[in-house]
Amino acid sequence: MRPVPWRPARLLARSPQTPTARTLVFSVPGWPGHLPGQHVDVRLTAADGYRAVRSYSLAAPADGERVELGVQSVPGGEVSPYLADVLPVDALVEVRGPLGNWFVLRPGTLAPVLLVAGGAGVVPLVSMVRAHRAAALRGPLRLLYSVRGPDDLWYREQWADRHADFDLALLYTRVAPPGDRRGPERITARDLAAAAAALGPDGTAYVCGPTGFVESAADLLTGLGVDPATVRTERFG
Amino acid sequence: MTSFSPGFQGRGRRPADRLPPGQYPTEQFPVLSAGPTPKVPTATWEFTVTTERGATHRWSWEQMMALPQEDTVHDIHCVTRWTKFDTHWRGVPLDVFLAEVDTSADFAVVAGHGGYTTNLPLQDLRDGRAWLVHSYDGYPLSPEHGGPARLLVPHLYFWKSAKWVRGLRLTHEDEPGFWEGAGYHDYGDPWREQRTWGD
């Protein structure tokens, strides 16, 4: 088995998702492709040779040498503020991947899939939604996406473009937009009940977000009778 | 001189003797688990060691707590690249359990509640290098960090320190565990940066 190599990655474009979150699109010659849900390591090198590495989720399905990452700028962070606001377009970083073979959605999945995202945890899950949109996946797909308020929503154009067999619920925790009948509150069993029932015996749930959110959402799912073996989690922070 | 990441400065440089290559230090204690957190009551908790010939040794929670306990302090290294210095644990050295077990096995498969497994050479669980721990920083270990009891093998990446540990199965052959079968390195030495297959 050969090690996963570091590859030069050229920043093609950067676009804002929220006031503090960015999409970064890189070109990575030799990129071997990846599955929805996988991530990469990004390596930065300072002038004196000092290096820092962090993991970032891939936000789009495999598309040749094009690699799209979602970066939430963490105040005081060593790497994320640099990627979010400093790295010039056309400059190089290094990436290694794809990594992670568990929190992935395999092409051709026909069984129901439930995605539960908290905040920036939406990044690996939007890759699954986009793969579903491109019809590489065919089963019913449902996304419950919890954010503090409308300003914190990533991938707005994606949510405006509904497609067959895809169901979306936006759950606001602090500020709800006008007309939102749920009102702002943290995720509850009520939010998850119908989705949990729709999973059936063959479905899989993917939960991604900050630790507290994932603990809470995964506990709610198992409390609703979902088999813990069918709940895959990815936590950060 | 470098052609990568122009303008990147990074934070303070760290002494190389405590931080393995490719790691960064954190003050927090991040949680990484592949699935929901199982709730394991100590009333029915049990730790088992099953030998290569099928003999099973069992310890209840009370029996385990009555064994010789150690307070132990370690740096821990997660394959997701965080390192946490000077973590304080209390528990039973694996040597204490293994002293009661007659085995010539070379490997162990560690099992946790929730279906998690991880494999390592049995030698790495001996000689004061591994513990079954039930307290962190003076308090009972919380469920999201592996409570009521987890394995602690601080000289390997932290995925080897199985949460919610329930037993060891001793084997002659090396059998890949959960992450080892999904692309992680079989041994996982942070100082040799053995993260994934082929490292």
Domain ranges of chain B: 43-192
pLDDT for residue B81 is more than 50: yes
What is the dihedral sign for C-alpha B32, B33, B36, B42?
negative
Same domain as A62, residue A15: yes
Find the domain containing A198 and state its range: 113-236
Domain CATH for A87 = 2.40.30.10
Same domain as A162, residue A84: no
Same domain as A215, residue A128: yes
Same domain as A29, residue A92: yes
Render pLDDT for B14-23 as a digit per residue (tens, 0 to 9): 666 899 999 9
Select from A140, A158, A148, A153 the least CA-distant residue to A187.
A148
Which residues of chain A register pLDDT less than 50? Answer: none
Whether A101 contacts chain B with CB within 8 A: yes
Same domain as A19, residue A68: yes
Task: Report if residue A163 sits inside a domain.
Answer: yes
> What integer pLDDT is reported at residue A137 of this predicted model?
67
Residue that finishes a domain, picked among A49, A76, A99: A99
Give the B-side interface with A, CB within 8 Å: 1-11, 13, 22, 24, 28, 30-38, 80-81, 114-115, 144, 178-179, 182-183, 196-199
At residue B1 the predicted structure's pLDDT band, cuts being 50, 70 and 90, is: very low
Cα-based angle B13, A80, A51 (whole degrees, multiple of 5): 30
> What integer pLDDT is reported at residue B12 of this predicted model?
67
User: How many whole angstroms from its chain centre is CA B18?
Assistant: 19
Task: Report if residue A19 sits inside a domain.
Answer: yes
Task: Report if residue A94 sits inside a domain.
Answer: yes
Cα–Cα distance measured from residue B87 to residue B189, given in angstroms and rounded to the nearest whole number:
19
pLDDT for residue B177 is more than 80: yes
> What integer pLDDT is reported at residue A108 of this predicted model?
81
The owner of tokens 């954010």 is A147
Q: Residues of chain A with pLDDT > 70: what percent?
A: 98
Same domain as A148, residue A121: yes
User: How many structural domains comprise chain A?
Assistant: 2
At residue B2 the predicted structure's pLDDT band, cuts being 50, 70 and 90, is: low
DSSP label of B11: S
Residue that finishes a domain, picked among A34, A67, A99: A99
Find the DSSP H helices in chain A: 80-85, 122-133, 156-160, 189-199, 211-223
Number of inter-chain CB pairs under 8 A, A vs B:
110
CATH superfamily of B43-192: Oxidoreductase, molybdopterin-binding domain (3.90.420.10)
> What integer pLDDT is reported at residue B3 of this predicted model?
85
Query: Average pLDDT in the B69-79 region?
Result: 96
C-beta atoms of A82 and B11 within 8 A: no
Same domain as A173, residue A61: no
Render pLDDT for B144-169 as a digit per residue (tens, 0 to 9): 999 999 999 999 999 999 999 999 99
C-beta atoms of B24 and A52 within 8 A: yes
Whether A55 contacts chain B with CB within 8 A: yes
Same domain as A210, residue A126: yes
Same domain as A79, residue A186: no
Task: Report if residue A105 sits inside a domain.
Answer: no
